[in-house]
Each structure stands twice: as C-alpha cells, then as structure tokens.
C-alpha cells in the first residue's frame, strides 16, 4: 500500500484530503504543520508538495 504524508494547517482541508486519499486506498499520515511532518520524514519514501498559489 502506498503511503502519503499530508501536512496541512487547515483542519477541514486536511481531513477532506485525508478522507479522499484513504478512500482511494492510500495509507495517510496527516499532520497540522511542517515540523511534525519533518519528524515523520524517515518513514516516508516520497513526498509530493502541492504548489501554493
């Protein structure tokens, strides 16, 4: 199973995206900030960053 690390500070957006990804079969680690995400970095093999506009 593919794993995704999701870092999003907006609770509703984080939960919406997490549910969608889980629904498509991904294992998701969701964090509220980049610091916590960096602590999980060794557990994740690929991190994709959503562009900010």
Q: What is the pLDDT of residues 3-51, one digit of tens each?
A: 888 999 999 999 999 999 999 999 999 999 888 888 877 655 555 566 6
pLDDT at 49: 60
CA-to-CA separations, 11 to 6, 17, 43, 46, in angstroms, rounded? 12, 10, 23, 23
At residue 44, the pLDDT reads 55
In the prediction, which pLDDT does 35 show? 86
- In this predicted structure, the answer to whether residue 1 has a pLDDT above a threshold of 80 is no
pLDDT for the residue numbered 52 = 61
By the 8 A CB rule, do 25 and 3 touch? no
Give the number of other Cβ atoms within 10 Å of residue 18's Cβ.
17
Instruction: Determine contact, residues 5/37, Cβ cutoff 8 Å.
Output: yes
């Amino acid at each position: 199973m593919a794993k995704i690390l999701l870092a999003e500070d907006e609770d509703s957006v984080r939960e919406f995206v997490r549910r969608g990804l889980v629904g498509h079969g991904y294992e998701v680690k969701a964090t509220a900030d980049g610091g916590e995400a960096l602590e999980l970095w060794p557990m994740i093999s690929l991190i994709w960053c959503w562009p900010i506009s």
